[in-house]
Structure 1
Amino acid sequence: MRPLRIALLGTEHVHTADHRAAVTACPDAELCHTLDEADAAVICSTTARHGEWLRIAATANLPVLVEKPLAASLAETTALTASVGSGAAVVAMFLRCAPALHRVRSVLATGALGEIVGARLSFGHPGLPDGMFEGTAAWMLDPARGGIGAFADLGIHLIDLLLWLRPDAPIAVRDARFRMPAGMAVDSSGVAVCDWGAVPVTLAAGWTTRPGGLRLRVDGTRDRLVLRDGLLAVGPDVERHAPQAAGDATRAFLAGLRGRSMWRPPTAADVLTCASVLEGVSVAARRA
C-alpha cells in the first residue's frame, strides 16, 4: 500500500511545524507539494484564507484537516460549517486526543466525583513576550487577516473541551474580561465565567502565561479531579499521561483516512457552538 500523500495548504499558522512533523513521522504518509498528487490536505494558513482553501480542496475532492478556528466570526463560521457537516473537513481540536482528557471524560461519565458543583479550566503559553507572533505568524495579531486574540485562540479549545466532556450540558456566558495591551488590536488574555449546565465554570486563556500549559479542576460532592498537562489526580490517586500535543489531531486525522478511529472530532454543531460562545464572551468583555 502506497503512503498517503498530504499537502500543506498555507504555512502561516504556528502549528504548521507540528502538522509537518506528524505527517513525516507517520509510517504510511508523506508530504507532497501539489494538490494534483495529494490524497488529503492540512490547512495551516491564516484564518482569513480558510474559506478559500476549503473551496479549493473541495474542488479537488480532498478531505482536509483545518486549523482552528474554522473562521474568525460566528457569521463566517456558519457559512463554512457545511464542509464539516459533510465530513469533508475536520477541525484540529487536539485536546480531544489527549490521553489524560480521555480519562477525565471517563471519570465524569461514571459519576465518580458525585454531583459536579464547580470547574476551572485554563490554557496558556508565553508566546507574546517570547516573540511567537513575529514574522510569518504576525497575522495572528491582525483582525483583518483573521487574528482573533488570545482568549479566542486558546479558549476555543476549552469551550470545545466542555462540549466533549459533557455533551448534554449547554454553555451560557455570564461575564468576561479581556486584557488589551496598548498598541494591540486584539487581547493578550482573558477570563470568562459561564454556566456549564447547572455548573459554574471559569475559563482562562492567554498568550502571556509562564510556564503555561493546560490546567483543569473539577469539584464534585464526593471528590475532586485536578489535571496539569499530563498529570492527573482523581482524589488521592495520581496518574501520569502523555501531555497534549498539537500534532495529535494530525495523527488522528491520518488514522481516520485509513479507517482507524482514534478520536471523535468536533461535529458541525460543536464548531458552531464554540463560535457562538466565543461571540458571547466577546460581547460580555466589551460590555464590561
Structure 2
Amino acid sequence: MANLKVAVIGCGSIAQNRHLMEYEANEQVDITAVCDIVEERAMVTAEAFGARSYTDYEELLAKENVDAVSVCLPNYLHAPVSIAALNAGAHVLCEKPMATSSEEAEEMIEAAERNGKKLMIGHNQRFVASHQKARQLIESGEIGKVYSFRTTFGHGGPEGWSADGADSWFFKKDQAFIGAMGDLGVHKADLLRYLLGEEFVDVAGFIENNAKEGISVDDNAVCILRSESGVVGTLTASWAYKPEEDNSTIIYGEKATLRLEDDPQYSLIAQYATGEVVKYELGQIQSNDEGGQTNTNVIDHFVESIIDNKIPLIDGYEGKRSLEIILGALQSGETRKISKLEK
C-alpha cells in the first residue's frame, strides 16, 4: 500500500514539536504539504520536511490530494478548517480543544460521518503508560470503589514555548476563546473520563485571570466534578506554575491510592490500604520542557486507525464529551451555579 499523503495546517509549536516530527518518524506517511498564514514559517517548514508550502488552507485542499490533515491552528479555526478538510475527502487529526462550542463539535462529527472519514482529537494523555496502567488497575477492581480524585495540569504559560511568545494567539479571547482551561484543562477532563470509565454529570468552575496582565482569557481555573456513580474530585488548570510543570493525577480508592506522574522517578505509585506500596517505572510523560521530545503515540494511532480502518480512541464523540466538561465549567464560572452535563 502506498504511503499516506499528509498535510499539516498551522506550523506553530505543536506542529513543529509533535505532529511533523512524529509523521516524519512514521514510515507509512509522506508529509506532502504544510500551510501557515506566516509565509516564511510555512516555507521554512516545507523545506525542512520536503513538502510544498501554502499560506491558504483552501488552496492547499483544492490543489493537493491528501489522505489526511493535521489541524494545528488557533482554537477558533479548529471547526471550520477540520470541516473543510473532511469535505475535501481527508481524514482529520485536530488539536484540542476540539472546537469552541458543542454546535461546532457536532458539525465536525457530522462532516466526518457524511464523508466517511476519520476524525480524531489530539488528547495525548490517554497514551501515557502510567495512565493506561492506572486505567487497567481501576477497571479490574484492583483499587476497589473509587471515591475521589485530584488532577492538575499547570506550567508557566504558553509564552515560554508558543511560536509567537508573549504575542501568542493563546492569550487572545477572539482566537483562543478559552485560556488555560482549553490548553490544559480539557486534557485532564478527557483523562479522567478515560481513567474512570464513566461520564461526568455535574461541574462547578472557578475561572480566573489573576496571574498574567494584558490577556483576555483565564490563566487559573479550579473545577469540581461529579461522575454518574458519584465520584467527586477536583481538576485544576494553570499558566502560573513556576518553576516546574505539574501534570499529576491522584485517584483515591477503597483499597488503594494511585499517584500518577506525581513522583520524579516513578510515573505510577500504588499505595495500598494494607501498607504495601508498588512503584512503577513506566517512562516519563511528555512535557513542554527541553528534552520532552518522546513520541506521544497520537500520530501513530491516527495513522494506524486510517490504515486498519478502525475508530480512533479519541474520535469526535469522545472529543465533544471532554469539551463539554470545559464548556460547563466556563458556564458555571459565569453563572455561579453548578452546570449539569448532558448524557
TM-score computed with the length of structure 1 as normaliser? 0.89
- Residue in 1 aligned with 2:29? 29
- Residue in 2 aligned with 1:124? 154
1:194 lines up with 2:225 in the alignment:
yes
Q: 1:136 to 1:9 in 2, by over 3 A?
A: farther
Q: 1:169 to 1:273 in 2, by over 3 A?
A: closer
- Residue in 2 aligned with 1:76? 104
| Partner residue of 1:220 out of 253, 261, 267 | 253
1:248 lines up with 2:297 in the alignment:
yes
Matches within 5 A, 1:65-214: 65-83=93-111, 87-128=117-158, 130=160, 132=162, 134-135=164-165, 138-180=168-210, 181-197=212-228, 198-210=230-242, 211-214=244-247
CA RMSD of aligned residues (A): 2.5
SS at match of 2:27: coil
| Amino acid across the alignment from 1:24 | E
- Residue in 1 aligned with 2:308? 259
Q: Deviations over 1:243-262 (max 9, x none)?
A: 3347421121112222187x
TM-score computed with the length of structure 2 as normaliser? 0.75
Return the offset for 1:136.
9.7
Bigger shift: residues 76-85 or 91-100: 76-85
Q: 1:184 to 1:87 in 2, by over 3 A?
A: same
Q: Which has the larger radius of gyration?
A: 2
Return the offset for 1:188.
1.1
Bigger shift: residues 78-87 or 200-209: 78-87
SS at match of 1:103: helix
Q: 1:63 to 1:189 in 2, by over 3 A?
A: same
Return the offset for 1:69.
1.3
Structure 1: unaligned runs, 5 residues or longer: none
Q: 1:23 to 1:137 in 2, by over 3 A?
A: farther
Give the number of aligned pairs. 286
- What is the distance in 2 between the residues matched to 1:216 and 1:110? 19
